[in-house]
Amino acid sequence: MRLVFFVGVGIPYGNSDVIPFIDQFAAGGPNGIRAFRLRELGPGANQPIADPSSQRADLNQTGDIRIELNAEYRLDLFSFFEGAVFTDMGNVWLYNDVGGNNPEGVFEFSSFYNQFAVGAGIGLRADFDFILLRFDIGAPVRKPWLSNNEAWSASTLNIFNSTNRRENIRFHLAMGYPF
């Protein structure tokens, strides 16, 4: 069993209101919350950008604060194959709302825990000693941009419906362990 807890905070200093984009945190992807695409989460309760031509297309889904917890149980299957079962949770937030157009993305100590994304899945690892190939399949259990009644989405997952599968199942092929 592997358990990793990550907390990162970037605070702008001097005459800067924001930290540089390259130094901001992103959530999701093959080494983060694997039930979501890279940069699909956050900041805070913001909904992912489905249409790049939309009004929110300029919103970068990165943040100044990142909290993430990953748990993975690895087991030997046979020869050089390993299996894994995992659960990931977390999100990214903004330190301050520059411009005042993103209040749901700002970190608030009283409510940040309500904006956690939760995902779970399984994986297969091929460990060739000199390289490890990893294939993970994840699905969201909690989507932070939905209301509290709808946020826990595991019950609405339907792998037999192609639209539901496309919107909820994430496949990741990566090299090396995620942590």
pLDDT tens column, 1-40: 999 999 999 998 888 888 888 999 999 999 999 999 998 8
- Residue 166: CB atoms within 10 Å: 8
The answer, yes or no, to whether residue 71 has pLDDT greater than 70, is: yes
Lowest mean pLDDT: which of 54-58, 80-84, 143-147, 148-152?
Answer: 54-58
For residue 167, the surrounding DSSP H or E stretch is helix 162-168
User: Stretch 81-106: mean pLDDT, rounded?
Assistant: 89
95: amino acid identity, one letter: Y
Q: What are phi and psi of 113, to 5 degrees?
A: -65, -20
CA distance 102 to 120: 28
